[in-house]
Amino acid sequence: MTIDNKFLYLAIILSPLVSSIIVGFFGWLIGKKVSHSLAILGVLISTIGSYIVLYRVQFEGLYFNGILYNWLTVGSQSFSVGLLVDKLSSVMLAVVTSVSLMVHIYTIGYMAEEEGYQRFFSYISLFTFMMLMLVLSNNFVQLFFGWEGVGLVSYLLIGFYIKRESAIFANLKAFLINRIGDFGFLLGIGLILAYTGSLDYGVVFSHMSNFTHAIMPGTSWNLITVICLLLFMGAMGKSAQFPLHVWLPDSMEGPTPISALIHAATMVTAGIFMVARLSPIYNMSHTALAVIIYAGGINCLFLGVLGIVQNDIKRVVAYSTLSQLGYMAVALGCGAYSVAIFHLMTHAFFKGLLFLAAGSVIIAMHHEQDMRKMGGLGKYMPITYITMLIGSLALAGIPPFAGFFSKDMILESAELVHKLGLPGGGFAVFTVYTSVIVTAIYSFRLIFMTFHGEERFRHVDNHHGQDDHGHHAVEPEESPWVVTLPLILMAIPSALVGWFAASDFVSNKILSGSVANAGWFVTNMQEEIVPLKMVLEGFTHIPVYLALAGILIAWLFHKNPKWSDKLIKAIKPLYVILMRNYYMDDLYINLFAPIGRAFGRFLWTLGDMFLIDGLIVNGSAKIVDWYSKILRKLQSGYVNTYATFMILGIIILLTFCTRLIFA
Amino acid sequence: MTLNLLNLLSLTIWVPIIAGIVVLFAGKNDNLARFISILGAIAGFILSLIVYLQFDANFSGVQFEENYPWIQSLNIYYHLGVDGISMPFLLLNNFITVTVIIAGLKVIKSKVALYNSMFLLMTGFMSAVFCALDAMVFYVFFEAMLIPMYLIIGIWGSSNRVYAALKFFLYTLLGSLLMLVVLIYLYYVSSDTFEIFAFYKTPLTMLAQVLIFIAFFFAFAVKVPMWPVHTWLPDAHPEAPTGGSMVLAAITLKIGGYGILRFMLPIVPDAARALSGVMITLSLIAIVYIGFVSIVQKDMKRLVAYSSISHMGFVTLGSFLFVGQYLNTWALQGAIVQMISHGFVSAAMFMCIGVMYDRVHSRNIADYGGVATKMPIFAAFFMLFSMANSGLPGTSGFVGEFMVIMGSVQTKFIYAFFAATILIIGAAYTLWMYKRVVFGEVNNKHVASMSDVNFAEFIVLFLLAFAVIAMGVYPEMFVAKMQTGVKDLVMEVANTKLLIK
Amino acid sequence: MIGMNHFLILSAILFAISIMGIFLNRKNIIVVLMAIELMLLAVNFNFITFSSFLHNIDGQIFVFFTLTVAAAESAIGLAILILLFRNMRGVNVQDMTQLKE
Amino acid sequence: MLQTVFFYVFSVILVISALQVILAKNPIHSVLFLILAFVTSSCLWIMLNVEFLALTLILVYVGAVMVLFLFVVMMLDIDIETMRKGFWKNLPLALCLGLVVLAEMVMVLVTKPVVVYQITQTDNSISNSNQLGWMLYTKYSYPVELASVILLLGLVVAVALTLRPSSKNAKYQNIAKQVAVSKTGRIEMVKMQAEKVEVIVDEKVGKDKEVSV
Amino acid sequence: MNISLFAAIPEIFVTGMLVIMLLIDAFIDEKKKAVNTIWAILTLIGGFVLQLYVFIPGKVQLAFNDMFILDAMACGMKLFTYLTGIIVVLYVKRYVDDKQLLKGEFYAIFLFAILGMLVMISANNMLILYVGLELLSLALYGLVAIDRDNVRSTEAAMKFFILGALSSGLLLYGISFIYGATNGHLQLESVYAEIGALMKGHVNNASLVFGVVFVVAGLMFKLGLVPFHMWVPDVYEGSTLAVTTVIGTVTELAAVVFVIRFLVGGLALLGPQWSIMLSVLAFLSLIIGNIVAIAQTNIKRMLGYSAISHMGFIAFGLMTTSVEGLSAVIFYVVTYVLTALAGFGVLLMLSRDKYECEKIDDLKGLNKSHPIYAGILLLVMFSLAGIPPLVGFYAKLKILEALVATGYIRSAIFAVVMSLIGAFFYLRIVKVMYFDEQDSEIIVADNCILGRSALVLNGLALLVLGVVPQQLMVACLRFITG
C-alpha cells in the first residue's frame, strides 16, 4: 500500500492542527478523555507519517519541493505556502513528532489534576503544527510564520498558569525578547528579498552567490555578512543565545512537559535548524560564522556555569539547555552544520528525557521544585532515576551514550577550526572543552542532590500552610505509567541513537543535499566514522576524562556539603554575579524597560500633550477665544461709538481710494 | 464587461442610507429600529460582496462605472466606479458596519434609532467616498461623514465627549476645507472638470504641486492620522462609544490613506517624489514615537488609539516609498493590505475593550486583571486580536507590515530598520496591556462579576476573528483584486507631470 | 467767479464738520442726529450744485425726495425717542447700553 | 462780483453755524445754530437759482423738522455736563480726522475737478418751480407715489408707536351713561348684621404671632 | 415716456391690499385681529401669483418711465421675497399673538417693509433705490420698536435708526457725486453708459471713485459688513424674535439685490475700485463675525455675528464681479435666507408668552424632548457651517469657485480658514441640543399645523437642496444672465 506523498505531508501537518482546533474549541464539550485521545491521535498520525517520510527520504530518495497554495502576489512576484521535504526536514520531522508524541502521552499524567487540561492539549498540538510548518517550509515567509507561531504557543504555555504573576511576567518577557531577535530576522529576510527578488530557498541560494562581494549601500559592510548576522539575530532570540537568552530560564514557569517539548527539544533549536537550513548562505560569510562561534561559546561555557549554582531542578536543566544550545551554535560556527543537527537530535532526546524525568520528580514531590528539599529519591522512583541517569550521562558526554557522539564531533570541529586558524577557533576550543566539565558537574549535582543522600523532604516545612500538616506521611512514589512510559521511550534513543546516526551525520550522508557543510569541514572530515571505534577511541581522548572529573567533583561536593558553603564564601562576589545571571535580567528589566517607559512618558507628556495639543491645538483655540473676548469689547453699546466706527471705516476707505486715484 | 444593469454601486451606497433614514423615522420602536438596521447593514454588505465577486481583477481601470450629471452648473457628475484600490475598502466598510450594528444591539439602550441610523448613514457616505470618481462627490461625502460621527461621539460618548467630538470635527474640517480650495483650483486648471482622472492628466508647476500637496497633506494626514496632526484620535477614541471607535478606526482612518493613493500621489507625483523623504520621516516618527507613547497609556482605548496611529504609520510609509521614478509596489500594496487588516484588527480591539467596558464601565487598565478566569472565551478572542495587533504571522496584522518592511528595505535599509521596531514595540504595548488586563489574579469585585461574551458579542468577535485569520493565512484572496489597480497607480505616478514655465 | 468747485468744497466742509460732530460727541445722541442732518445738508448742497451747474433738474428732484423722506424719518425717529424716554424714565443716553458686546 | 461776496458771506456764516452745531454746549443752541445753517444754505441755494427747494428747505426743514428737534431736545432732560464728557479729549483726534477727510476731498476736488463736458440746455423761460412740477408729475411720478407711501408709513409707525389705546385707569366722561342714569343705580342699600363679640384665644395663632414678631 | 404699469401690477396690488388692511385694522374688533394675519398672507400669496402672471420669460419689462425694471433677477428675487414673507408670517403668527404685539400694525408695517424690498429689487434708478431703501428702513425701525414697552427693543430701534440715518447720509453723498460726475444721470443704465463714455474719453474719474467710496459704505451698512456692522448684533438681540426673523431673513434678499443693482448695474466699470474695498470689508467681516460669535451666549446675537460673517462671504462673491460670482452671491443669499429662516422658525416655536428662547442654554437637551426641532436646528447649523450635503455647502462652494476662477486664491483660503472657526460656534449649538442634559422643560407652544409643517418642509429643503441644488443654481445663474 502506498500513500500518496502529498496527502501524507498534509496529514502530517494538519492532523495536529485539526485536533488542536477541535480540542481547543470543543474541549469543554467532549471532556478530558476524548480531548487527550484526540490530541494524541493527531500527533500519532504525524509521527507515523514522519517516520514514513523519513524512511522514504533516506532510502527511496524522496524529495519534494512544491507549493500548496499561493499566499500572496506582489507585482510579478508571488509567494506561496509550500513544502520542502528533504533530508533535513525529514530528520527534524521525526525528532519533533516523536518528542511531541512522548510529551503528549506524558501530559496525561502530569496535568491530570490541573485546570485547563484541554487547553493545554490544544496548545501543544498547535505547537506541533507550528513547528512542523517551520520545519517543512520551503521559503522564508512560512519559516517566519512557524517561527513566530511557535513563539506564540511558547508564550501561551509559559503563561499557562495565568494567575501566577511570575508566569505571566515570564511569558511576556519571552515574547518580547524573541521579538528583538525577530526584528533582525525580518530585516534579514527583507534584505534577501531586496537583493534576490525571491524568498524561496532554492531561488535565494542560487542567486545569493551573485552577491558574494556586494556591500550594503551606504556602508562598507559585506552584504552577505549583514544578512547572515541579521538572520542569526533571530536565531539568537529563538535559540536563546547570549545576550537574548534571558527568557529561557524564566520560561520554566510553564508546566514541565512544555519545558521538555518547547524549551529543550524543539522550539529552541529552531534557530539552529534555521542556520543549518541556510548553510549555503552562511558558508559565504566567515565573519558571520565567527560571530556565531563567539555567541555559542559564551552560551556554552558562561551560561553553563550558571547551572551549577541553581537549586531549582528545572532551572538546572534549563541552563544546561542554554549551554547545549551553545554547543550547537559553536558547531554551526565551525561550519559543521550537520554536526549541529546531530547534536540537536541527540539533545532533543536526552534533554527532553531530563525534563520529563524532572517533571516526574516534581509530581512525586507534589510540585516542589527546590532540590534542597529533595534527596534520596532514587529508591522510591527507580524508573525515573534510571532514565534520568541515562539522560545525564548522555548530557555529560559519557560514551557510549548519544551525547558523547555528538559532543565529540563538536569538539573535533572546534579543534579543526582552531587548527585552520579561522577566526574564533581558539575561543571555541577553550569554551567547549571547559564546559564539558561544567556540564558534568551540574548534571550530576542534580542527580546526587535529587536521588541520593539524605531524604530532606522529610523535614517539616511550613510553607504549605497549616491545614497541610503531615501530608508527607505519604511516601514519594513512582509516577504512573503514562509518565514513565515516555521516560523509557525517550531513554532508549538517548542511549542509542548515536550508534546509528553518528557516521551518517558526520559524513553528512543523512543530510546531504539540504545542508552544505563548510568546505574545510568536508575536506578534513572524510574518514568513515565507526561508532564502536569511536567509543573506544573516546577513552583515549581528554573530554571523557574531563566529564568524569566533573562527575567526581560533583560527587565530592555532594559528600561534603560544607565544601560548597566554603566555596561560596570564598568566591562570594562571583557567586552573586552568577546567581543574578550576570545581571542580564537586571539589564532588561531594570534598565531597558524603565528607559522605554520613561521615554514613552516623556514623548507623551511633552510631545503630545504639551507641544502639539497644549500649544498648537488648544493654544490656537485659546488664542481665538482670547481674540473673541477682546474683539467683542468693540461693541461697546454706545451708539456714538458705532457711528464713529462707521466714520472710521469711511476714512479708511477714502484714504485707500485717494491712494488709488493718485497712484 | 461587467453586469451593471442594477447600478450596483449606487445600491451599495444608498441602501444603507435609505435604511438609515427609515430607521430614523422608526423613532420610538427600538426593536423595529434594530431590525431594520440589521437588515440594512446586511443588505449593504451583500451588495458590496456581489460587487466584489463580480469585480474583474484583470481589468485595468474602473469598473461598475456610473456616470450621471448631478449638478451641471458646477460640472459635478455623479460618477462612481471601483478599481482595485477602492474595491477592498468598499467591502471592509460594509463588513464592519454589520459588526458594529450587531455589537450595538444589546448595548445601546438610549436613542436606539438615532444610533443605528447614524451608523447606516456613515456606511453609505463612506462607501460613496470610496466609489467616487468625481472629486466633488468625494468631497461631499467626505465631509458629510463628519456629521454622524460628531453625533455618535457626542451623544453616546463618555465623560469628555464634547471636547473630543469638537476636536475631531474641527481637526478634520481644517484639512478638508483646504482640500476644497485645492479641488476647485484643480477644476480650473484641468479645464472645468471635477473628474479625478482628469486631474491626473493636468500638468502643474512644481510650486503648484507642492502647495497642492500640502493642502492634501492636511486633509488626509489628519484623517490617517500622521504624526504631528494626530492628537484628535487619542481623544476621540476613548470618548466614542464602542461602535464609534470601531468605525472610526476601521474605516474613517482608511479614508485618509485612500485619499493619499487616490489624490495625493497621482495628482502631484513630482511633489510626492520630492517630498517623500519628509513623509517617510513623519511616518517613521509615527511608528516609533507613537509606539513608545502607547506603552505608557493607562487607558485601554487610548492605547489602542495610539497603536492605530502607529500602525497607520505603515500606511503612509508604504505609500511614499519610491524606487527611483516608481512607487515601491511592495510597500504600496502593503499599505493597502495594512489598511484592510488594520480595519479588522482595530475594530476587533475596540470591540474587545467595549465588551469589557460594558461590564465594568472603566477603560483603565488598572481596574482590570484576571479577566481570563471570568471570561475564557473572550480572553481567547482578545488574545488573537492582540497578537494580530502586534503583527503575528498568520494573522492579518502581519501581512501589511511585512510587505511594507520588505518594500522599505528595497528603498533604504534604514527605513526598514525603524519600521521594523514595531515588531518589538507593538508587541510590548499590546501584550503588556493584555497581561495586565486579562492575566493575573482577579483582584476586584467588578471583574469578579464579569460574565462571558453573549451571543451578539460572540458573533461579532467571531466574524472579526474569521476575517483576521483568513487574511493572515490567505491574503491572496484580498490582494488578487487589487493587483491591477496597484499596477495602474504605479504607472500613473511614474509619469512626471511637471509643467515648466 | 464762483465755480462749481466752490460749492462742492463748501459741502465738503459741511460734511467734514458733521463727521467731526459724530466723532466728538461720543455720548450725545441728539448732536449726533443733528450732525446727520448736517450731512444731509451737505448732500443736498452737492445735488443742487451739480443740478444747477449742469442745468439738469434731476438733482433737484432728488433733493426734493430727500427732504420728504427725511421728514418721515424724523417723525419715526422722534416716535422712537419718545418710547425710549418712556421706557427709560428720562433719557440719559448713557443708559442706552443694555445691548452690547 | 456781488455774487462772490454773497457766497463768501453766507459760506462763512454757514460754516460757523455748522461748527457751533457740534461745538455748542447746550443742545438747544445746537438746534438753533442748525436752523441758522439751514437758512443760510437756503440763501445759497437761491444764488444757484433753486428757488423752490430753497423755500421748501425753510418750510419743511426749519418749519417742521427742526421744530420737532427743538421740541424733543427741550422735552428731554439732558445733563449737559456728562454729555460733554470726553469732549476735549476727543477734540484733537476729531479735528485731525475731520481735516483728513476734508483734505482728501478737497485735494480730489481741486486737483481733479469734476469735468462738465456736456450741459443739457434747459429752457430758462420756465421757472424753476414750474420745471420741477412738470418733472415730478411726469417723469418722476413713480417716486412721488413712493414718497406718499413713505409718508403713510411714517404716519402709521409714529401712531403705532406712540398712541396708547385708552387704558382702564384713564378717566373719561361718558355723557350717554350720565344721562341714562337711573335712581336705583344711585343708592344701594346695604344690610349689615350686628357684630357679635366673641373672645377666642387661639394659642397657636398667638404663638405664631410671637414667633413672627 | 413709458407709462405702462403692467410690470408693476404685483406691487400695486400689495400697496392696495396694504391700504385696505390699514382700514380694516382701524375698524375691527380687538378679538378679530386674526383677520390681519390672514390678510397679510393673502396679500403675499396674491403678490406671488401676480408676479408669476406678470413675468414674461426672456423679456425685460420696464414701467414708470423706465424707473421700474422687471428682469429675471427682479422677478426671481421677488418671488423669493414673497415666499419668504409667507413663511415668516406663518412662523411669527403665534408669537405675535402671544406677545400681544400690535398685531394689525405689525403686519401692516411688515407689508410696508416687503413693499420697500420689492421696490428696491425692481429699482432701475438711483432715486428709486434710495426711496425703496428708505421705505424698507423706516418700516424696519418701526418693527424693531414695535415691542413698545421693552427697553431693549426701543434701544435697538434707536441705535438702528441713528446708524441707519447715518448710512443713508453716506449713501446719498456718494450718489450725489456719481450724479455730478456722470453729468446728471440717475438712471442706472445711463450711469453705466456715461461712465463708459468717460472712461473712453480718458476723463479722470476721481469724483466717481470718490462717490463710490460713500456708496459702498452706505450699501455695506445694509449688508452689515465690518466696520458698518455695529448695528447688526444689537438689533438682532434687541428686537423681538419675530422682528429679528424679518431682519435676519427677508431683508437680506433685497439688500443683496440692491447692492448688485447699484454696483454691477450702475458702477460695473468701476469694479476694480470697489472690489478692492469689498475685499477689505469682507476680510474684516469674516474675522470679526466668526471670532466674536464664539464668545456669544445669546443665540440671536450669535446669529447676528454669523450673519456678518456670511455677508463677508457674499462680499467676496461680489468682489469677483464675474457672472459666476454674482450668481454665486444670489445662490448664497437665497440659501442663507432659507437656512436662517428655519433656524429662527425653531426659536419662534420654542418661545412663548413671556419666555423668549434666546440663550444658547435654553436649547439644552432639545433633542430629547423635541427631536424633530432639534433635527431641523441641526440641519440649520451644519448648513450654516457649510457642511455637505446641506445646501450651505454649495453656497460656499460656488463662492470659492468664483474666487478661484478669478484668481483670488488667497482670499479663498482665508475664507475657508475662517469658516473653520465659524464651524466652532455652530457646533456648539448642536452640542447643547444633543449632548447636554435638559435642565428646564422646553415647550413647543405653536400648535398650528401650517406653521409646523412649513418649518419641517423648510428644514427638509435644506437637505433636499443640498442633494439636488442644480435647479436653484441654474435659476440663480439665469437671474444674472437674464
**Mean pLDDT, rounded, for A260-264:** 83
pLDDT tens digits, A386-440: 888 888 888 888 877 888 888 888 888 888 888 888 888 888 888 888 888 888 8
Is the CB of D83 inside 8 Å of chain A's CB atoms? no
**pLDDT tens for residues E202-244?**
766 778 888 888 999 999 998 999 889 989 999 999 899 999 9
Distance of CA A147 to the CA centre of its chain: 9
Q: Which of A633, A638, A647 sits opposite C27 (nearest CB)?
A: A638
Rounded-to-integer distance, Cα E43 and Cα E37, Å: 10
Window 98-157 of D: residues touching A by CB (8 A cutoff) are 100-101, 104-105, 107-108, 112
Residue to substitute from A626, A647, A653, A654, interface E, most E β-carbons within 10 A? A653
The tally of domains found in chain E comes to 1
- Note the pLDDT of residue A267: 86
Out of D18, D73, D87, the one facing C30 most closely (by C-beta) is D73
CATH number for the domain harbouring residue D63: 1.20.120.1200
Mean of the per-residue pLDDT values for chain E?
88
Would you say residue E1 lies in a domain? no
Residue E241 has a CB neighbour count (10 Å cut-off) of 25
In a domain, D142, yes or no: yes
Give residue-wise pLDDT tens across range B347-387: 999 999 999 988 888 888 888 888 888 888 898 899 999 99
Element (H, E) at C35: helix C29-54
Residue in E15, E142, E145 closest to D149 by CB: E15
Q: Which domain holds residue E424?
A: 6-481
Write down the number of H helices and E strands in chain A. 28, 2
Q: Does residue B210 lie within any of the structural domains?
A: yes
Is residue B264 in a domain? yes
Helix spans in E295-370 (H)? 299-320, 323-350, 366-369
Q: What is the pLDDT of residue E330?
A: 93
Q: What is the pLDDT of residue D209?
A: 47
Does residue B499 sit within a domain? no
Interface of A with D in 631-650 (CB under 8 A): 647-648, 650
Give yes or no for a contact between A393 and A346, defined as CB atoms under 8 angstroms apart: no
Residue D24 counted as domain residue: yes
Who's near E466: CB < 8 A, 6+ residues apart?
E383, E388, E389, E390, E391, E392, E393, E394
E365 pLDDT higher than 50:
yes
Give the span between the Cα atoms of B43 and E476, in whole angstroms. 40
Tell me which residues of chain A have a C-beta less than 8 Å from any C-beta of chain E: 624-625, 627-629, 631-632, 634-635, 637, 639, 641-643, 645-646, 648-650, 652-654, 656-657, 660-661
**Same-domain status, D73 and D147:** no
Interface of B with A in 132-171 (CB under 8 A): 167, 171
In a domain, B411, yes or no: yes
Mean pLDDT score across all residues of chain C: 83
Interface check C80 vs E, CB under 8 A? yes
CA distance C63 to C42: 11
In a domain? residue E205: yes
Q: Are A279 and A337 a contacting pair, CB within 8 Å?
A: yes
Cross-chain residue pair D158–C2, CB shorter than 8 Å: no
In a domain, E26, yes or no: yes
Determine the distance in angstroms separating the CA of A604 from the nearest CA of chain E, rounded to an integer: 27
Nearest residue to A265 (alpha-carbon basis) of A169, A124, A387 = A124
Residue range E342-362: mean pLDDT, rounded: 85
E228 and A624 in contact by Cβ < 8 A?
no
Average pLDDT over residues D184-206: 63
Q: What is the mean pLDDT of residues A221-237?
A: 89
Cβ contacts (< 8 Å) between D105 and chain A: which residues?
A: 654
C-alpha cell at E410: 488667497
- Spatial separation of the C-alpha atoms in residues E452 and E457, rounded to whole Å: 9
CB A354 within 8 A of CB A265: no
- Taking residue B1's Cβ as centre, other Cβ atoms within 10 Å add up to 8
Q: Which of B97, B107, B102, B96 is nearest to B361 (CA)?
A: B107
How many CB atoms neighbour CB A561 within 10 A?
Answer: 11
Taking the CA of residue B231 and the nearest CA in chain E, the distance in Å comes to: 18
In Å, what is the CA distance from D152 to each residue of A57, A268, E19, E359? 115, 103, 9, 37
* A93-104 residue pLDDT tens: 888 898 899 888
pLDDT of residue D127: 82
For residues A462 and B36, what is the distance between their CA atoms, to the nearest angstrom?
A: 66
DSSP state of A353: H
* Per-residue confidence (pLDDT) for residue A1, from 0 to 100: 41
- Identify whether B501 is part of a domain: no
Taking the C-alpha atoms of residue A203 and residue A79, their distance in angstroms, rounded to an integer, is 12
Q: Number of helices and strands (H, E) in chain D?
A: 11, 0
pLDDT at A383 over 60: yes
Three cell numbers, residue B114: 438615532
Spatial CA neighbour of A371 closest among A425, A315, A424: A315
Q: How far is CA B192 from CA A245, B76, B131, B205, D128, in A?
A: 66, 10, 21, 18, 59
For residue E355, the cross-strand partners are E352
D206 or A496, which is more confident: A496
In terms of C-beta density within 10 A (0-12 exposed, 13-18 middle, 19 or more buried), how is residue D155 classed?
middle
Q: Using CA atoms in the order E410, E415, E420, E423, what is the torsion angle rounded to 10 degrees? A: -170
> What pLDDT score does A408 carry?
85
pLDDT tens track for B258-273: 999 999 889 999 999 9
Domain hosting residue B432, numbered range: 8-494
pLDDT of C37-65, one tens digit each? 889 999 999 999 988 888 888 899 999 99
CB A276 within 8 A of CB A341: yes
d(CA A472, CA A315): 24
- Short-list A142, A122, A159, CA closest to B393: A142
- Residue D84 is predicted with a pLDDT of 65
Give tens-digit pLDDT for D29-79.
888 999 999 999 999 998 888 888 999 888 888 887 788 778 777 776 666
Query: Residues A402, A408, A411, CA angle at the centre, nearest 5°?
Result: 145
pLDDT at B286 over 50: yes
Residue A198 has pLDDT above 80, yes or no: yes
Task: Establish if B260 belongs to a structural domain.
Answer: yes
Which residues in D lie closer than 8 A to residue C8 (C-beta atoms)? 109, 114
Average pLDDT, chain D: 78
pLDDT in tens, B35-71: 888 999 999 999 999 888 888 888 888 888 888 888 8
C-alpha cell at A242: 547570549
Shared domain check, D70 and D10: yes
| Closest-CA residue to E404 (of E311, E346, E319, E306) | E319
Cα(D21)–Cα(D77) distance, integer angstroms: 19
Residue A506 vs residue B188, higher pLDDT: B188
Predicted TM-score (pTM) of the model is 0.89
Structural domain for D145, as ranges: 128-159
Cα angle A303-A309-A311, degrees, rounded to a multiple of 5: 120
Q: Which residues of B touch E (CB under 8 A)?
A: 27, 70-74, 111, 114, 136, 139-141, 143-144, 146-147, 150-151, 154-155, 161-162, 165-166, 169-170, 173-174, 177-178, 180-181, 184-185, 187-188
Find cell 521538555 and name the residue.
A260
Say whether the D–B interface has 3 or more Cβ pairs within 8 Å. no
Cis peptide before A531 (omega within 30 of 0): no
Task: Of A503-507, B83-87, D188-192, E141-145, give the lowest mean pLDDT range.
Answer: D188-192
Q: What is the model's pLDDT at position B1? A: 43
Residue environment code for E33-62, b if the CB has 16+ CB neighbours within 10 A, otherwise e:
bebbbebbbebbebbbebbeebbeeeeebb
Low-confidence winner among A449-453, A499-503, B297-301, C9-13 (lowest mean pLDDT): A499-503
The answer to whether residue D11 sits within a structural domain is: yes
Q: Does the pLDDT at position D162 exceed 90?
A: no
8 Å CB contact of A172 and B392 = no
Picking from A36-45, C92-101, E94-103, E386-395, which range would have the lowest pLDDT averaged per residue? Answer: C92-101
Q: Does C75 touch chain D (CB under 8 A)?
A: yes
Above 60 in pLDDT, residue D138? yes
Pick the residue of A628, A632, A638 with the most C CBs within 10 A to test the interface with C by mutation: A638
B 445-484 → A contacts, CB under 8 A: 474-476, 479-480, 483
Which has the closest alpha carbon to A346: A505, A487, A123, A477? A505
Cross-chain Cβ contact A654/D107 below 8 Å:
no
**Residue-level pLDDT at E306:** 93
Q: What percent of chain B has pLDDT over 70?
A: 98
Contacts of A207 (CB under 8 A, 6+ apart): A195, A196, A197, A198
B438 close to A223: Cβ distance less than 8 angstroms:
no
Asked whether residue D1 falls in the same domain as residue D71, the answer is yes
**Which residue bears the cell 471592509?**
B92
Q: What CA–CA distance (Å, rounded) separates C61 from D38?
A: 18
What SS3 state is found at B498?
Answer: strand
Find out whether E125 and E261 touch, Cβ atoms under 8 Å.
no
pLDDT over 50 (residue B414)? yes
User: Using CA atoms, how far apart are residues A194 and A207, in angstroms rounded to an integer?
Assistant: 12
Nearest to A606 by CA among D38, E459, D97, B293: B293
Tell me the per-residue pLDDT of D57-70, one tens digit each, with 9 for 90 and over: 888 888 877 887 78
* Mean predicted lDDT score pLDDT of chain B: 88
Cα atoms in the 13 Å half-sphere on the side-chain side of C82 = 20
Using the Cβ of E141 and the Cβ atoms of chain A, whether some distance falls under 8 Å is answered with no
SS3 D65: helix
The confidence score (pLDDT) of residue D115 equals: 65
- Domain assignment of residue B2, yes or no: no
Of residues B45, B237, B25, the one with CA closest to residue B124? B45
- Residue D74, H or E segment: helix D66-75
Buried b (16+ CB within 10 A) or exposed e, B285-323: bbbbbbbbbbbbbebbbbbbbbbbbbbbbbbbbbbbbbb
Pick from D49, D81, D113: which residue ends a domain? D81
> How far apart are the two ends of chain A, measured CA to CA in Å?
107
pLDDT at residue D119 in the model: 57
Whether residue B84 is predicted with pLDDT greater than 70 in this model: the reply is yes
Confidence of residue C95 (pLDDT cuts 50, 70, 90): low
Residue of E nearest to A620 (CA): E421
A656 vs A296: CA distance, rounded Å: 84
- Cβ partners under 8 Å of residue B329, min gap 6: A74, A75, B407, B486, B487, B490
What pLDDT shows up at residue B464?
92
Tell me if chain E has a CB within 8 Å of the CB of C13: no
pLDDT the model gives residue D211 = 45
B7 inside 8 A of chain A by CB: no
Query: Looking up cell 521516560, which residue turns up?
Result: A487
CB contact under 8 A, A646 and E166: yes
Confirm if E308 and E251 have CB atoms less than 8 A apart: no
Lowest mean pLDDT among A222-236, A496-510, B278-292: A496-510
Instruction: Write the pLDDT tens digit of every residue in E402-439.
Output: 999 898 989 999 998 898 888 888 998 998 888 888 87
**pLDDT tens for each residue of B174-197:** 888 889 989 999 998 888 888 888
Answer whether residue B75 is part of any domain: yes
Q: How many domains does chain B have?
A: 1
Q: What is the pLDDT of residue E341?
A: 93
Phi, psi of A313 (to 5 degrees): -60, -40
pLDDT at C90: 61
Q: At what angle do helices E391-405 and E323-350 cross, to 10 degrees?
A: 160
Contacting residues of C for D114, CB less than 8 Å apart: 4-5, 8, 50
Q: What is the pLDDT of residues B243-263, one digit of tens each?
A: 889 998 888 899 999 999 999
Tell me the residue type at D82: T
Straight-line distance from the first to the last Cα atom of chain D, in angstroms, rounded to the nearest whole number: 93
CB–CB contact E404 B74 (8 Å): no
Spatial contact of E92 and E245, defined as CB atoms under 8 Å apart = yes
Closest CA–CA distance from residue C93 to any residue of chain E (Å)? 10
Can you read off the three cell numbers belonging to residue A117? 487540561
Total residue length of chain C:
101
Best mean pLDDT range from A44-58, A648-662, B103-117: A44-58
Residue B323 is predicted with a pLDDT of 85
List of chain A residues whose C-beta atoms are within 8 Å of the C-beta of residue E296 = 632
Residue E447's pLDDT is what? 67
Which one is predicted more confidently, B95 or A514? Answer: B95
* Secondary structure in 3-state letters for E33-49: CHHHHHHHHHHHHHHHH
What is the Cα–Cα distance from A502 to A495, expressed in whole angstroms?
Answer: 13
Looking at every residue in chain A, the average pLDDT score rounds to 85
Amino acid D120: pLDDT: 59
Name all chains with 3 or more CB-CB pairs below 8 Å to chain A.
Answer: B, C, D, E
Q: How far is A605 from chain C, CA to nearest CA, in Å?
A: 38
Q: How far apart are CA B401 and CA B338, in angstroms?
A: 6
What was the pLDDT predicted at D212? 43
| pLDDT of A465 strictly over 70 | no
Does B495 or E235 have the greater pLDDT score?
E235
Could you tell me which chains touch chain E, where touching means 3 or more CB pairs under 8 A?
A: A, B, C, D
